[in-house]
Amino acid sequence: MLERMQIQAIAQVLAGNDPGIDASALDQPWRHVYDELKDMGLILGMGPEPALYYTLRGHDDAHAIAQRILGVLVQIPDRAYPHLASLAAQLPPIRWLWPGWIPRGMLSLLGASPGAGKSLVALDLARRIIHDASFPDGSPIPRPGSPVIYVDAEAIPQIQNQRAVAWNMDRERIYLMLPPDTYGMIDFGDIEHQNRLIDMCATLEPDLIVVDSLSSISVKGENNVEDVRSILGFLSAVAREFDAGLLLVHHLRKRSKTPLMDLVTADDFRGSSHIIAMARSVLALSIIQETPEPDRNGPRRMEIIKTNLCEYPKPLGCRFQPGEGAPTLLYTDPPKPYREPSTTEECEAWLVDLLEEGPLKPKEIIDLADDYGFKEGTLRNARCNLEGIVVDTEESNHSPYNKWALAEDNDDPAT
């Protein structure tokens, strides 16, 4: 048996555990100590250290041997490693700025394709907090009127101002952090820039901090794990220390092969995978194609695509309403993506259009359907799917007088 294992066995006895080892497997002096401790069972009421020295009484190297054993004793889990029960009293509960979406004291991430409206959504959340307008799903604002810090790392404050004016925002409640000079940039790898944000948070006590965007807050890029960990670690610490929601805006990879209007996934986020790993909540904003032709102004779908904190909330729809200076955001049910209609669905639409001109006998409709390339089986399926919309004009569909008609046109059945 390795010496370290022999010492571990003695330490276990001192900790009050039974390692279940035969003393004959140990070498001297460990066997002597092990045997005596097992025989004693600490019945003398001694603590571990006095008991250990008692077994080594008269030994020339008593102190050195005892220190080696005691050094291992403090590493036994019950003594060296904190367990959850011991930590629980000091752990704060999970608290929310926006329940299910943006936690307090943790990092949240918002990603979307260029032009999808990430910054618009972030500013709209700020507006809701400042003006007590409730969150997009109707959740109440926890501290109405509280300040919001907007780290405008992309340095285009005139855009934020134009939108704020268009929405009649109280611009005295939103505070911008901008690059220190015209041609500079914010670098949260720099302690001076970190301190600027810390000072703002300490003074303003914001409920929400928006950082727009990750690509603009570091001179080292987004692909190196060590660099990303450092920046995100700082932002997480800010959120934690000031008990605020922190929303970090991020861009997606270029989609060379994937359509622009596919749903955003965690794999679409640009840079190191550590970015997603460190975020506790990841929000995605996807452009949804509702019609045959793509429309960049079409509806959006906002959803949580990663959370460690709760059940996934239901996705939201978001439509941009034209407005003077900036569009307004209208949150709705999630939009349904367009898909090509099946042959049966095309036949259903054709049949309804046909019967708007008046009732027709089934045989006539079958002949016309064939001219349009619809087989009789497809037509029958379409007729079945339209039950209640397309009806028979006679009680018996076998009647020679029976016709198919739209229900709304069949108040006076043909005879």
Q: What CATH number is attached to the domain comprising 369? A: 1.10.10
| Range of lowest pLDDT (41-50, 212-221, 225-234) | 41-50
pLDDT band at 119 (very low <50, low <70, confident <90, very high): very high
Is 70 exceeded by the pLDDT of residue 410? no
For residues 14 and 56, membership in a common domain is answered with yes
For residues 173 and 229, membership in a common domain is answered with yes
pLDDT band at 77 (very low <50, low <70, confident <90, very high): low
Is 80 exceeded by the pLDDT of residue 374? yes
We report the CATH number of the domain holding residue 115 as: 3.40.50.300
| Whole-number pLDDT of residue 202 | 95
Determine the average pLDDT of the residues in 380-401: 94
For residues 104 and 199, membership in a common domain is answered with yes
Is 50 exceeded by the pLDDT of residue 44? no
- Annotate 287-325 with DSSP letters as a single string: E---SSS--TTS-EEEEEEEESSSPPPPPEEEEEEP-SS
Which residue among 21, 45, 80 closes a domain? 80
Helices of type H across 22-92: 30-40, 48-55, 62-73, 77-80, 84-88
Nearest to 120 by CA among 130, 131, 132, 112: 112
For residues 124 and 150, membership in a common domain is answered with yes
First to last CA, the chain: 103
Is 70 exceeded by the pLDDT of residue 82? no
| Whole-number pLDDT of residue 355 | 96
pLDDT band at 373 (very low <50, low <70, confident <90, very high): very high
Determine the average pLDDT of the residues in 181-201: 91
pLDDT band at 21 (very low <50, low <70, confident <90, very high): confident
Q: What is the dihedral of CA 159, 162, 167, 169, to 10 degrees?
A: 90
How many domains does the structure of the chain reveal?
3
State which residues form the domain around 161: 96-332
Is 70 exceeded by the pLDDT of residue 128? yes
Q: Is residue 30 part of a domain?
A: yes
Alpha-carbon distance 232 to 245, whole Å? 14
Angle at 298 between CA 132 and CA 254, to 5 degrees: 100
Share of the chain above pLDDT 90, in %: 65
Mean pLDDT of the chain: 90
Contact 122, 249 (CB under 8 A): yes
Angle at 37 between CA 33 and CA 41, to 5 degrees: 180
Q: Is residue 159 part of a domain?
A: yes
For residues 65 and 101, membership in a common domain is answered with no
Contact 309, 137 (CB under 8 A): no
Which residue among 299, 332, 365 closes a domain? 332
pLDDT band at 368 (very low <50, low <70, confident <90, very high): very high
Determine the average pLDDT of the residues in 77-97: 76
For residues 243 and 378, membership in a common domain is answered with no
Radius of gyration of the chain (CA): 35
For residues 29 and 53, membership in a common domain is answered with yes
Q: Is the peptide bond before 292 cis (omega within 30 degrees of 0)?
A: no
Which residue among 308, 332, 356 closes a domain? 332
294 vs 382: which has the higher pLDDT: 382
For residues 75 and 136, membership in a common domain is answered with no
pLDDT band at 415 (very low <50, low <70, confident <90, very high): very low
Q: Is residue 225 part of a domain?
A: yes
Backbone angle region of 164, left / alpha / beta, with phi > 0 → left and psi within -120 to 50 → alpha: alpha
For residues 349 and 307, membership in a common domain is answered with no
For residues 213 and 290, membership in a common domain is answered with yes
For residues 328 and 354, membership in a common domain is answered with no
Determine the average pLDDT of the residues in 105-133: 96
193 vs 414: which has the higher pLDDT: 193
| Range of lowest pLDDT (66-75, 99-108, 231-240) | 66-75
For residues 234 and 350, membership in a common domain is answered with no
279 vs 61: which has the higher pLDDT: 279
